[in-house]
Amino acid sequence: MSADIGPDKGTEPTHGDSADDMLRAWRAGIDTYQEPVVYMRRDCAVCRSEGFTTQARIRLTAGSGSIVATLCVVDGPWLGHGVAGLSEAAWRALHPQPGQWITVSHAPVLDSLSHVRSKVYGHRLDAGAFRAVIGDIAAGRYSDLHLATFITACAGDHLDLDETVSLTQAMIDVGERLDWGRDMVVDKHCVGGLPGNRTTLLVVPIVAACGLTMPKTSSRAITSPAGTADTMEVLAPVDLDIGAMRRTVERTGACIVWGGSVRLSPADDVLIRVERPLDLDSEGQLVASVLSKKAAAGSTHVLIDLPVGPTAKVRSREAAQALGRRLVEVGRSIGLQVALRVTDGLQPVGRGIGPALEARDVLAVLRRQADAPDDLRQRALRLAGDILELGGAAPPGAGLRLATEVLADGRAWAKFAAICEAQGGLREVPVASHRHVVEAPSAGRVTSIDNRVLSRAAKLAGAPRAPAAGVDVHVRLGDIVRAGQPLFTLHAQAPGELAYAQQYVNARPPIFQISEAS
Amino acid sequence: MSADIGPDKGTEPTHGDSADDMLRAWRAGIDTYQEPVVYMRRDCAVCRSEGFTTQARIRLTAGSGSIVATLCVVDGPWLGHGVAGLSEAAWRALHPQPGQWITVSHAPVLDSLSHVRSKVYGHRLDAGAFRAVIGDIAAGRYSDLHLATFITACAGDHLDLDETVSLTQAMIDVGERLDWGRDMVVDKHCVGGLPGNRTTLLVVPIVAACGLTMPKTSSRAITSPAGTADTMEVLAPVDLDIGAMRRTVERTGACIVWGGSVRLSPADDVLIRVERPLDLDSEGQLVASVLSKKAAAGSTHVLIDLPVGPTAKVRSREAAQALGRRLVEVGRSIGLQVALRVTDGLQPVGRGIGPALEARDVLAVLRRQADAPDDLRQRALRLAGDILELGGAAPPGAGLRLATEVLADGRAWAKFAAICEAQGGLREVPVASHRHVVEAPSAGRVTSIDNRVLSRAAKLAGAPRAPAAGVDVHVRLGDIVRAGQPLFTLHAQAPGELAYAQQYVNARPPIFQISEAS
C-alpha cells in the first residue's frame, strides 16, 4: 500500500563521504501537532556515523532553508532506505521538494537553555537572556519539552516587572512590526476566562464606523473553548497575510484577523501551542503575549477588559488591579497607552460557548434581533464607548451614547459585513449534528454558575476544533427555573465527543446551583 | 517496501457499532524514547466518531491490559486501514499480539493535573495531591509535556520539607518494596555532578566482603555522562528482575543493579526520562528520588556522599549542608537512618569519564594495579569505612583500616568478581574506535578544571549511550604541564560524534586553567 514512497533504488545516494549525511525528503504525513519531527532508519549511514539517537535535535538543511527537528529513530519496514520522513510540521517549516536531497547534522548546542535553567532555579533573567531565549524559540530551536519548561518556569508570579518588560520587548523584536502611518491606532483586548465574552466582534465595527482605525489581531483559544479568532473564523477567513490585512484596513478602517498568520510576535504563537495542552497561562506571559501583539500590530492606544469572578480567569478585584497595573506599567515601558475596564465575570456572556454558538450571538446583536443577548450587547457598548473616548471620537462621557446610536442605526452591522467581505466573504454559521439537553434537577432560583466546568464541557464536546461544538446556556443567574427545565445544551459534531462531554458533566457536582426560590 | 504491514483486506473489522472503536495492533517500529505514541489514520472510523485529533491522549485496551498513549494522526499511505500503529514504548507497555484487536477510547480526564497547576502557581500540595499525581505518573497517564511541567514546578526550592516527605512517600507507595528479612541493610548514594566518581563499584564489594548486606540499586545517568548503572553494565548485566536480584544478594550479600528494571519507585523512572533531556534536577525531586529508591530497596542505613565544588552539582558547603539536612529529615520521616559525608568535588575522580573509561579505573583499583587512580581508591575506602562503622562491622574509628585491608588482600576483588558472576558474568571493557587528544596550549600549573564542560564534552561524544565514549583526563589539579602535553582525550564510537565533541571543546574557553608555574 506504500510502494511509492522513498526514492527509487536507482537514484540512491552513492555511499561516498559527501553523501553520507544526505537523505531524500519524504512527506510521511504524520501530524505531530506543531513540533517538527524527522523519521530516520536506525541503520542509515548518517545515524550510524553521527551517533544520532531518538529524541536528538537534528538540523535539516534543504537548499538555503534549514530547520531543527526532533528525531524519531525507526526500525519498521515502512520507511525506505536513504529517506528522511518529515512530519507535517517539519514539512511545512522546511518545504522541500518531494525527494529533494537534504543534509542532516547535529543541531547547534542551545546555549540559551542555561537561562531557562537559571529561571527554573528562581534567578532573575536580564534583557539579553530573554532576547536569547525568545530568539531561539521563534527560530523553532526549542523542543516541546524545552518550551514546557520555560513556560512553567515563568508561570505563577515568577517574573518581576523588569523581566516582563524584557520578555515583551524580546517578543516584539523577534517578529514583524506594522506601521499604519498614523498617530492613533486603537485596539482592545479581553484577558479572558469568561465563556462567550465575544465583544471584539461588536466593538471593532462600532469603533471603525465612527472613523477610528482598529486593525485587530486576535488569538485562537489557549485554554478556552473559543478564541476571538476561532469565532471570527466561523464568519469570515482570518488567516490573512500582512498584505491582505493591510488592504482590509485601508478599505474599512478595521479588520479582525488571526495574529499568528501575520507572524506578529511569532514566539508567542510557538509558546501558545504548548500552553494549550498544558492548560497553563501565567501573568508575565499573559502580559508579554498581549502587549507584544498589540505593539507589533502598530497599536498606540489599547483598552483592556478584565472580567472578574470566582470562576473567571481573574478571580478578585485585587488580582485584576495587580494585573491591570502590570499591563499599564509594561505598556508605558514599551510606548503603549493602556486603559483598563474591570467588568463583571460572574457568569458566561451571551448564550453560546464555542465558535459557532458565539458567532450566532454576535450576529443577533449586530442585526438587532429581538432575542439577541442583552448582556453581550451592553458589555460591547460600554467597551466601545471607552475606546471612542480614548481615541478622541467622542468627548469624555459621550462614548456610550455614540456607540449605542451606531449599533442601533445599522452602521455597525454594515461595517461588520464590509469587514467580512474585505477579509474574504461572510460565511453561514454551521449547526452541530449531535445535541444533549441538561435539565434542572429541581425547581428554584439559579444562584451560581461554574464557568470553568462549562468551558471544559464545551472543550470536551470538541470546541474550538469542531466549530459547531460547544455549550448553549439557556438560563442566567437569578432566573427562576422549574424542575426539568433545560439549563444548557451540549453541541457536538461527533457522537463520541457528545458522550464524553456528557459523561464529564454527569460526574461533576451540579454546574448550576439552584436554591429553593423564596 | 512495506506491503506486509497491517491486516489483510479480508480480515478488516465489519463496520458495525461494536467494531467502530476497534483497530488491529501493528508494531510501527518508531522509537519515541519512552513516551507511548499511537499512529492512527485521520480517516479511520474511530477518529471520525470520537473526534480524536493529534496530541489527544487515548486509552488503548488489549485484552485485560490498558495504556494511555499520545495520538499522532496520519495522512500518509504507509499506515493501513483499520490499524493502530504503536511506537516501541507503546508496544512494550501494552504488549499485544501482532494484529490483535485493540479498543481505543478517550483517556479519562486527569484530575490530578489541577494539583500540578496549583504547584505552578506556587501553592503547597498535601500528601493526597502528591499521591494522586504520582499514581497517575506511575500508571503512564501523563504526557511528556505534563511531566515537564510537574518537574519544573517542583524544581528550584519550590518544595518544602512536608511536601518533599509527601512526594517521597508517594513514590515509595506506588512501587514494589523489598524486604530482606534482616534488621540491617546498608546502602550508599552519591548526589553526583562529579565526573568519574564511581566509588559504588568499590564500596559494595568491600562492605559485602565484611559481611554486611548491601543490595545496591543504581540509576542510569540523568544529566551526567554515566550513571553507576551505566558503568556497571559495562562489566556485568544490570537489568535484573527482583528474583535475579534476590538470588544475587543471597549468594554474595550484595548486588549492583539498575533500579528501573526491578520497578522500585517506578514513578521516578518516568520522571528521570524527562529530566534527562531537560538537563534539570531539583532538590525536592533529588531527595525524593534518592530516598524513595533506598526505602523501596529495603535499606535501613544509608550513607550519602555529597561532593562539593564550584562546578559539581553541589557548589558550596552551605548548599551541601542544606541538602544534607533535608535528606536526614526526610529519611527520618520515612524510617531511614541517613548519614552524610561531604567530599571534595573540585575535579573529576579517577581518569575516565564515561561508562567504559570509568569501569577501567574501577578494575584497576580492585586489581591493585600500580597505575590505578589513587584518588578514586581513597574516596572509596573512606566511604566504605563509614558504612562499616554505620553497619556495626567495625568499631567507631576503625572502618577505614578494615576497608583498606579488605581491598589490599584481594577479598574486595574476589567479591566483585562473584557479584558480576551472579549477575550474569563479568564482561570485557570495550575500547572506543575514534579518539582525539587535546593538548596544553602553554606550559604552567593546572589551577582549575571545569567539570561541567568536561561532562558535556563526554556526553556530546556519545556517553552514556555509547559505552566506550567519553573523556580520559590525563592531568590533575596542581600538575605542572609543558606546552603540547596531552590534557585529555576525547573517545567516541562514531566519527560525527567525535567531531561534534571536538567542535564544542574548541568553541569554549579553556577547560583547564593553566597559570605560569611559579
pLDDT tens readout for residues A305-315:
999 988 777 88
Interface test with A, best of B71, B104, B145 (most A CBs within 10 A): B145
Cα B335 to Cα B329: distance, rounded to the nearest angstrom: 10
| Inside any domain, residue B79 | yes
| Last residue within a domain, chosen from A55, A90, A106 | A106
Helices B161-173 and B283-296 pack at an angle, to 10 degrees, of: 40
B376 & B447 share domain: no
Residue A63 CB coordination number (10 Å): 13
Is the pLDDT at A11 greater than 50? The verdict is no
Please report, for residues A182, A264, B338, the alpha-carbon distance to residue B268 in angstroms, rounded to integers and kept in the order given. Answer: 58, 41, 20
| Last residue within a domain, chosen from A106, A140, A166 | A106
Annotated catalytic residues of B are 281
Q: What is the pLDDT of residue B185?
A: 97
Q: Which of B302, B313, B416, B406 is nearest to B362 (CA)?
A: B416
B460 & B417 share domain: no
Of A422-426, B222-226, B228-232, B289-293, least confident by mean pLDDT is: B222-226
Task: Assign A189 to helix, strand or coil.
Answer: strand
Q: What is the pLDDT of residue A458?
A: 93
Cα A61 to Cα A19: distance, rounded to the nearest angstrom: 13
CATH number assigned to the domain comprising residue A102: 2.40.40.20
Determine what percent of chain B falls in helix, strand and coil, rounding each to the nearest 5: 40, 20, 40
Most confident of A199-208, A265-274, B15-24, B273-282: A199-208
A228 & A358 share domain: yes
Q: Which residue of B has its CA nearest to A153?
A: B152
The total domain count for chain B is: 3
A72 pairs with which residues across the strands? Answer: A39
| Inside any domain, residue B279 | no
pLDDT mean over B74-85: 90
- Looking only at the bridges linking them, the beta strands covering A480-481 and A22-27 are unpaired
Contact A280 B28 (CB under 8 A): no
Most confident of A63-67, A206-210, A262-266, B87-91: A206-210
Q: What is the pLDDT of residue B490?
A: 97
Decide which of A490 and A222 is more confident.
A490
Q: Which residues of B touch A143 (CB under 8 A)?
A: 277
Contact B500 A106 (CB under 8 A): yes
Of A6-20, A323-337, B13-27, B32-46, least confident by mean pLDDT is: A6-20
Most confident of A58-72, A498-512, B255-269, B302-316: A58-72
A207 & A61 share domain: no
Q: What is the pLDDT of residue B5?
A: 39
Which secondary-structure segment (H or E) carries A513? strand A512-515
The confidence band for B197, taking pLDDT boundaries of 50, 70 and 90, is: confident
Instruction: Determine the residue type at B115.
Output: H
Q: Which residues of B touch A465 (CB under 8 A)?
A: 51, 53
Sequence-distant (6+) residues with CB within 8 A of B102 are: B22, B23, B24, B25, B60, B61, B62, B84, B94, B96
Q: Which residues of B touch A122 (CB under 8 A)?
A: 156-157
Sequence-distant (6+) residues with CB within 8 A of A209 are: A406, A411, A412, A414, A415
- Looking only at the bridges linking them, the beta strands covering B480-481 and B352-353 are unpaired
C-alpha cell at A31: 501530524
Sequence-distant (6+) residues with CB within 8 A of B283 are: B156, B157, B159, B323, B326
Instruction: Determine the residue type at B206.
Output: I
Task: Assign A445 to helix, strand or coil.
Answer: strand
Annotated catalytic residues of A are 281
A22 pairs with which residues across the strands? Answer: A103
CB B387 within 8 A of CB B212: yes
Determine what percent of chain A falls in helix, strand and coil, rounding each to the nearest 5: 40, 20, 40
Is the pLDDT at A319 greater than 70? The verdict is yes
Question: What pLDDT, in 10s, does the model give residues A184-216?
Answer: 999 998 887 677 778 999 999 999 999 999 999
Instruction: Determine the residue type at A206.
Output: I
Task: Assign A49 to helix, strand or coil.
Answer: helix
| CA torsion through residues B38, B41, B46, B49, sign | positive
Q: Which residue has the cell 494511555?
A: B68
Q: What is the pLDDT of residue A44?
A: 84
Intra-chain end-to-end CA distance of chain B, in Å: 69
Which secondary-structure segment (H or E) carries A65? strand A65-74
CATH number assigned to the domain comprising residue B441: 3.90.1170.30
Contact B152 A153 (CB under 8 A): yes
Is the pLDDT at B17 greater than 70? The verdict is no
B73 pairs with which residues across the strands? Answer: A31, B40
Q: What is the pLDDT of residue B171?
A: 94
Q: Which residues of A touch B508 (CB under 8 A)?
A: none
- Looking only at the bridges linking them, the beta strands covering A186-190 and A301-308 are parallel
Contact B492 A146 (CB under 8 A): no
| Inside any domain, residue A497 | yes
Is the pLDDT at B196 greater than 80? The verdict is no
Is the pLDDT at B2 greater than 70? The verdict is no
For residue B97, give how far its alpha carbon lies from the nearest alpha carbon of chain A (Å).
16
Cα A34 to Cα B40: distance, rounded to the nearest angstrom: 17
Question: What pLDDT, in 10s, does the model give residues B278-306?
Answer: 776 678 888 998 899 899 889 999 999 99
Is the pLDDT at A14 greater than 60? The verdict is no
Burial zone of A206 (CB within 10 Å; 0-12 exposed, 13-18 middle, 19+ buried) = buried
| Inside any domain, residue B129 | no
CB B173 within 8 A of CB B293: no
A373 & A244 share domain: yes
| Last residue within a domain, chosen from A393, A423, A453 | A423
Instruction: Determine the residue type at B15.
Output: H
Q: What is the CA radius of gyration of chain A?
A: 25
Question: What pLDDT, in 10s, does the model give residues A359-370?
Answer: 999 999 999 999
pLDDT mean over A263-290: 79
Cα B218 to Cα B200: distance, rounded to the nearest angstrom: 9
Question: What pLDDT, in 10s, does the model give residues A216-255?
Answer: 988 888 678 899 999 999 999 999 998 999 999 999 999 9
| CA torsion through residues A87, A91, A93, A94, sign | positive
- Looking only at the bridges linking them, the beta strands covering B254-258 and B83-86 are unpaired
Question: What pLDDT, in 10s, does the model give residues A444-468?
Answer: 999 988 888 888 899 989 999 899 9
Cα B120 to Cα B364: distance, rounded to the nearest angstrom: 48
pLDDT mean over B232-242: 95
Q: What is the pLDDT of residue A248?
A: 97
B140 pairs with which residues across the strands? Answer: none
CATH number assigned to the domain comprising residue A203: 3.40.1030.10
Question: What pLDDT, in 10s, does the model give residues A322-353?
Answer: 999 999 999 999 999 999 999 988 878 899 99
Cα B356 to Cα B378: distance, rounded to the nearest angstrom: 21
B245 & B317 share domain: yes
| Inside any domain, residue A278 | no
Interface test with B, best of A71, A152, A283, A314 (most B CBs within 10 A): A152
Contact B5 A497 (CB under 8 A): no
Q: What is the pLDDT of residue B362?
A: 97
Q: Which of A212, A236, A179 is nearest to A416 (CA)?
A: A236
B328 & B378 share domain: yes
B249 & B324 share domain: yes
Contact A75 B88 (CB under 8 A): yes
The model scores a pTM over 0.80: no
Contact A72 B495 (CB under 8 A): no
The confidence band for B10, taking pLDDT boundaries of 50, 70 and 90, is: very low
Mean pLDDT value across chain B: 89
Cα B466 to Cα B461: distance, rounded to the nearest angstrom: 8
C-alpha cell at A455: 468551558
The confidence band for A440, taking pLDDT boundaries of 50, 70 and 90, is: very high
Cα A188 to Cα A393: distance, rounded to the nearest angstrom: 15
Which secondary-structure segment (H or E) carries A339? strand A337-344
Q: Which residues of B touch A450 (CB under 8 A)?
A: none
Q: Which of A74, A88, A76, A68 is nearest to A40 (CA)?
A: A74
B201 & B63 share domain: no
Task: Assign A66 to helix, strand or coil.
Answer: strand
CB B176 within 8 A of CB B264: yes
B456 & B383 share domain: no
Is the pLDDT at A18 greater than 70? The verdict is no
pLDDT mean over A502-513: 87
CB B226 within 8 A of CB B470: yes
Of the partner residues B148, B494, B496, the one whose CB lies closest to the CB of residue A145: B148
| Phi/psi of residue B153, nearest 5 degrees | -65, -30
Cα A401 to Cα B72: distance, rounded to the nearest angstrom: 52
Which secondary-structure segment (H or E) carries B113? helix B113-120
A350 & A218 share domain: yes
ipTM value of the model?
Answer: 0.73
Q: Which residues of B touch A55 (CB under 8 A)?
A: 33, 277
Mean pLDDT value across chain A: 89
Q: What is the pLDDT of residue A19?
A: 55
Most confident of A58-62, A100-104, A402-406: A402-406
Q: Which residue has the cell 463583571?
A: A344
- Residues of the domain holding B65: 9-106
CB B198 within 8 A of CB B364: no
Q: Which of A86, A28, A24 is nearest to A58 (CA)?
A: A86
Sequence-distant (6+) residues with CB within 8 A of B88 are: A75, B27, B29, B30, B31, B32
DSSP B270: H
Of the partner residues A48, A49, A148, the one whose CB lies closest to the CB of residue B149: A148
Q: What is the pLDDT of residue A310?
A: 80
For residue B193, give how far its alpha carbon lies from the nearest alpha carbon of chain A (Å).
16
Spacing of C-alpha A58 from chain mean position: 28
The confidence band for A136, taking pLDDT boundaries of 50, 70 and 90, is: very high
Q: What is the pLDDT of residue A473?
A: 94
Q: What is the pLDDT of residue A281?
A: 66
Sequence-distant (6+) residues with CB within 8 A of B511 are: B449, B450, B453, B454, B457, B487, B488, B505
B72 pairs with which residues across the strands? Answer: B39
| Inside any domain, residue B18 | yes
Sequence-distant (6+) residues with CB within 8 A of A301 are: A184, A185, A186, A187, A336, A337, A339, A387, A390, A391
For residue B332, give how far its alpha carbon lies from the nearest alpha carbon of chain A (Å).
26
Question: What pLDDT, in 10s, does the model give residues B29-77?
Answer: 999 887 899 999 988 878 776 777 788 889 999 999 999 999 999 997 8
| Inside any domain, residue A255 | yes
Sequence-distant (6+) residues with CB within 8 A of A293 are: A217, A219, A259, A264, A265, A268
Contact A2 B4 (CB under 8 A): no
| Inside any domain, residue B138 | no
Of A27-31, A250-254, A261-265, least confident by mean pLDDT is: A261-265
The confidence band for B104, taking pLDDT boundaries of 50, 70 and 90, is: very high
B338 & B365 share domain: yes
